[in-house]
Homo-oligomer: A and B are copies of this chain.
């Protein structure tokens, strides 16, 4: 039996478990709730027990497990495997999560940023096709990213690289939570796009069919904006187009910088499918230089929410002797 690796994807609501076999094929994945109210100790216990359950349920001989990869929200000290801060789980700040999970399972472990893990998952088993350079953008509450060059995750000299959501695409634009103005995340994430629509309606009194949704639900999301856009609402058309425009600026810049084989899009906003991809490809084509035709493909994620846990297993595979 070929050796395999376990992946654990730590999220604020669920912890996901999965594995990659020796041929780097992903197996079944399953979630357990994140016991946030039990703090860091409870969360670590859940991570260990979930991994033990996976080993047991799949009938894996323990000596066949090469190691465990953990994907976690940042900021992280990657070299030392330490969570720097995690506001939503009490006691997790400065936690040596990698070594705690490793000790609990008696297996080698590696810690990776969740967006990087998802990118690696898409690269190895998903839309990245396991060849050529790839950039992943996850369009959700914020915009996360992972950059795979020559099959390796780009971390930067101080482990704070690969933050494409905080590229400035609109100098002097809206103030981002990071302290910069005009970040991609602030103009094109699912959450901020919907917030922008709500602001135009509430603060600037712009007419829109979304006003009724806003009054009824107390808020709107990107799916509401897209539904209104499809029904011809002018404000929704404008807001959607603005978010896609800045996303296309980022994609053109990614081509000029990395010239990757593929840019893969994931996260909540990609539920819109072609309603996102068609206008994105059109903006991209129009904005792209004319020196050569676009060579980079823009693609939807193929692993969806499993990218993170599969990628975490892949990171372990790569760290502990695979390939």
Contacts and interface: CB of A to CB of B under 8 A. Distances in A.
B295 A179 contact: no
Interface residues of A, number: 47
Interface stretch (A108-116, A161-169, A302-310): A161-169
Contact of A258 (B154, B180, B246, B252): B154
Contacts of A160: 255, 259, 292, 295
A159 B255 CA distance: 11
Nearest to A131: B157
Number of copies: 2
A132 B161 contact: no
A251 B171 CA distance: 13
Contacts of A171: 169-170, 245-246, 249, 287
A147 B149 CA distance: 13
Contacts of A252: 168, 180
Interface in A274-290: 287-290
B181 A287 contact: yes
A157 B260 contact: yes
A1 interface: no
Interface of A: 75, 132-133, 147, 149, 154-164, 166-171, 176, 178-181, 245-246, 249, 252-253, 255-261, 287-292, 295-296
